[in-house]
Amino acid sequence: MPIRLPQFLRARRPAMPDRVEIDGGSLPVTVRLNARARRLILRLAPGGEGVVVTLPRGTAPAAVASFLERHRGWIEDRRSRLGGAIRVEPGAVLPFRGRALQLVGDPAPRLLRLEEGEDGLLLRVGGEPQRFARRVGDFLKREARRDLQAAVDRHAASVSLRPASLSLKDTKSRWGSCTSDRRLAFSWRIVMAPPFVLDYLAAHEVAHFVEMNHGPAFWALCTRLCPRTQEARAWLKREGAALHTVDFRPAP
């Protein structure tokens, strides 16, 4: 009869790393298991607030810790590119449809006007100072809905299927989603990206109307709908996290 050791004598399995040390502190680590993954994959979490490691089944915690150690320089470099958070306030410059958008406070209480200035786009925002960030956010959400709806309608017509609904969210984990009954959801922050990136995102989710997977047939359809698919994917991987550094909380 085998002898069962007391709990305190049993060997404990090493835990997966939950933080990675970098210059100036440490970052939380999110570990995600993907049975289809063939190697460890590292990416920066939106806003640079942590890192995400995708790993194949059976990967040992020690291998993850070693992987993170080898890539500390990459993590620090990517975070440095993000810079600090951009607070939405008069004088701030935000990305908008791939261009620079300068925010201008105005005494007119109901004013909200987009203008083409000498040095680029201007958004004149009136009203109370404590509502400034909220009004800017509402403007971006309206523009995002208009751009996304137009792109979705165009791509949906190409596959002869219509979306059941389209909603906007402020998600950090994904830019868009599509359910089996064709309900679409998008991060409204995509309106800050260049238009070809937004077009790709719409094409990606509409392609799921036909292919509810990410297999070869899906990517072929996605590329047919949006020929700049690979370029847009590379842009999101390289620049997407920076869109989450724009802070729409009211000024203290």
Q: Where are the domains of the chain?
A: 7-76, 86-247
Contacts made by residues 145-153, CB under 8 angstroms, sequence distance 24+: 145/188, 147/97, 147/191, 147/195, 147/198, 148/186, 148/190, 148/191, 148/198, 148/201, 148/202, 151/198, 151/199, 151/201, 151/202, 151/203, 152/184, 152/202, 152/205, 152/206
Minimal CA–CA distance to 197: which of 159, 242, 246, 248? 242
State which H helix or E strand residue 88 sits in. none
What 8-state DSSP symbol labels residue 75? H
Q: Domain 86-247, CATH 3.40.50.1000 — does that match?
A: no
Per-residue pLDDT in tens (0 to 9) along the chain, 252 residues: 555 655 554 555 678 888 888 776 788 899 988 888 888 888 877 667 788 899 898 899 999 999 999 988 888 877 766 666 788 999 999 999 999 999 999 988 889 999 987 778 999 999 888 899 999 999 999 999 999 999 999 999 999 999 999 999 998 878 999 999 999 999 999 999 999 999 999 999 999 999 999 999 999 999 999 999 999 999 998 889 889 889 888 766
Rounded to whole angstroms, what are the CA distances from 201 to 93, 163, 186, 232?
Answer: 24, 14, 8, 8
Q: List helix spans (H) across 42-162.
A: 61-70, 72-82, 132-159
Q: Encoding tokens for residue 49?
A: 């607030």
What 8-state DSSP symbol labels residue 214? -
In whole angstroms, what is the distance from residue 192 CA to residue 96 CA? 4
